Amino acid sequence: MSKIYWSPGLDQLEPYTPGEQPKSETLIKLNTNENPYPASPEALRLLEQHDFADALRRYPDPESCELRRAIADKHNLSAEQVFVGNGSDEVLALSFYSFFRRSEPLLFPDITYSFYPVYCQLFNIKSRTVPLHGDFSIQLEDYAAPAAGVIIPNPNAPTGRYLPLEQIEQLLRSQPERVVVIDEAYIDFGGESAATLIDRYPNLLVIHTLSKSYALAGLRLGFAMGQKHLIEGLLRAKNSFNSYPIDAIAQRVATAAIRDTAWHSDNCGKVIATRERCERALTDLGFEVIPSQANFLLAKPPEPGAEALYLALRERNILVRYFNKPRISEYLRISIGTDEEMEQLIRNCKEILASQS
Ligand code: PMP
């Protein structure tokens, strides 16, 4: 009944469903690719020591100048090549709006971040999904067609598969007239960022988040890097929607986190080492594990299969992600937690599998 007040088409939107955020503290939560460790102590100390009264009384810097400078310094860019947003989801949304509303379809893999089709619906963007090959690899020839642009996560989500920079360059060369967005939410866990290609490719936009490798998912901070003309396009869209998407506290905490490069590389190293141990342990249990350069593993369990194992783990207070979707319904996506959490996961998987045989 109340839908009579809605704009036409709103009831047709199928919103994105984020992974569950249960209230229980005792749960081992391996379902949303969060970082298991606390963020940089430099960043957290700011929250304890700083008196934010004045900063909160005023509007924040609408251009997030210091934060953009810190990101630019880290990636050898200039501040005008950096755009920041309220989580990379917001940066993605503004990118879709700014670059992909065209007569041709936007191309992205059939198995990928499931927010992309939602933005297409929201902004009326035509899209064409390109099937991943049987081993979940991306074949670049498939993307050399007339298109509104291309978006791929690298590493891809939820597969974890990574494309080396030469292949990203091939993709950029195949779409010189259109923007190619590389969503690098997970790049810090073993990949090489395409940010180094920005000066050579006017069509490249690289998007990062502080939610994964910086352990700041609750802060909501994402950023895009690209040549100035792309950043200007994003600013135009952002300033037509929300002038102050990054609050004063987030700007300061994120700046400190980005500048703490020692904490960041140490943290990524720990997550990578745990991932490698976990991959071996799952393989030993008979899982088929897709090679991952991210902070999660996509793995196909043996009998009783993915859904039954997901439910059995849940009963034991361990939460992983099960996607009831074509092609990946036989797999579980398991975020990398601490060593202790992963040991508990492995021990419980072993018990559940043994009880089935
Ligand atoms: N891109 C990919 C591929 C992701 O998996 C996620 C996390 N769900 C995001 C972007 C969004 O991350 P955030 O909005 O927390 O920055």
Q: Which long-range contacts (CB under 8 A, 24 or more apart) does 56-65 make?
A: 56/248, 56/249, 58/248, 59/244, 60/244, 60/246, 60/247, 60/248, 60/251, 61/248, 61/251, 62/239, 62/243, 62/244, 64/246, 64/251
Judging by DSSP bridges, how do beta strands 106-109 and 149-153 pair with one another?
A: parallel
Residue 155, token pair as written in the block:
């590493």
User: Whose CA is closest to atom 7 on ligand 1?
Assistant: 185
Query: 217: Cβ below 6 Å to ligand 1?
Result: yes
Residues of each domain in the chain carrying CATH 3.90.1150.10: 17-39+262-356
pLDDT digits (tens, 9 = 90+) for 104-125: 999 999 999 999 999 999 999 9
State the angle between helix axes of 87-99 and 228-238 in degrees (0 to 180), rounded to the nearest 10: 100
Residues of each domain in the chain carrying CATH 3.40.640.10: 41-259
The pTM of this model reads 0.97
Query: 60: Cβ below 6 Å to ligand 1?
Result: no
Task: Report the atom number in ligand 1 closest to the C-alpha of 92.
Answer: 10
| Fold (CATH) for 41-259 | Aspartate Aminotransferase; domain 2 (3.40.640)
Task: Report the atom number in ligand 1 closest to the C-alpha of 153.
Answer: 3
pLDDT digits (tens, 9 = 90+) for 252-277: 999 999 999 999 999 999 999 999 99
User: What's 17-39+262-356's CATH class?
Assistant: alpha beta
Q: Which of 88, 154, 296 to mutate to test the pocket of ligand 1 (most atoms within 8 A of CB)?
A: 88
When the pLDDT of each residue in the chain is averaged and rounded to a whole number, the result is: 96
pLDDT digits (tens, 9 = 90+) for 195-240: 999 999 999 999 999 999 999 999 999 999 999 999 999 999 999 9
